[in-house]
């Protein structure tokens, strides 16, 4: 999908807003098709399947269904498949990027989102095939082109990972 289509998917979804009460406005959920219209990531690096519970100015929840067919399980680890922590952080970042582009109407055409740093990352429990990651993301600071976030990844209501991170929207070099 080209960049113009990415923008139009996000804009089209924003037109279907449920309420107009300002900062905590509830927005429609994003399907995998919507996410692919916003993010440039594709298999095997697309780490979020759906984004739900989206509120403008509040945050969102990314959903990643972890299956045994994930390519990283072949080598991490064959005797005990565990989702790499760095990919859990990537799922957090993708949820944050899609949320920001969608909820804030950020034009990402021709631009890339880059990590600026990851702080306070902690991994509490392993994530294994059959788990559903629910990634709770909130914006803690917003000064475009820089955003800061906090995220918690949960499986069955239990904390599996958490981190704070920053990202910047920039022109590719």
Active-site residue numbers?
76
Helix, strand, or coil (residue 52): strand
Residue carrying the six token digits 């990314």? 62
Distance CA 22, CA 33 (A): 27
Q: Are 48 and 91 in contact (CB under 8 A)?
A: yes
- Sorted by sequence, the CB contacts under 8 Å of residue 78 that are 6+ apart come out as none
């Amino acid at each position: 999908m080209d960049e113009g289509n990415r923008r139009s998917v996000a804009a089209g979804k924003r037109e279907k807003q449920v309420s107009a009460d300002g900062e905590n406005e509830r927005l429609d959920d994003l399907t995998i098709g919507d996410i692919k219209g916003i993010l440039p990531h594709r298999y095997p690096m697309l780490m979020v399947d759906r984004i739900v519970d989206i509120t403008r100015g509040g945050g969102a929840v990314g959903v990643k269904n972890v299956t045994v067919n994930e390519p990283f399980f072949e080598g991490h680890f064959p005797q005990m498949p565990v989702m790499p922590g760095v990919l859990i952080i990537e799922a957090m970042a993708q949820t944050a990027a899609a949320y920001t582009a969608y909820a804030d109407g950020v034009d990402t055409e021709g631009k890339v989102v880059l990590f600026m740093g990851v702080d306070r990352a902690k991994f509490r429990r392993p994530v294994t095939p059959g788990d559903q990651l629910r990634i709770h993301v909130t914006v803690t600071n917003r000064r475009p082109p820089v955003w800061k976030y906090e995220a918690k990844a949960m499986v069955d209501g239990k904390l599996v990972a958490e981190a704070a991170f920053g990202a910047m929207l920039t022109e590719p070099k």
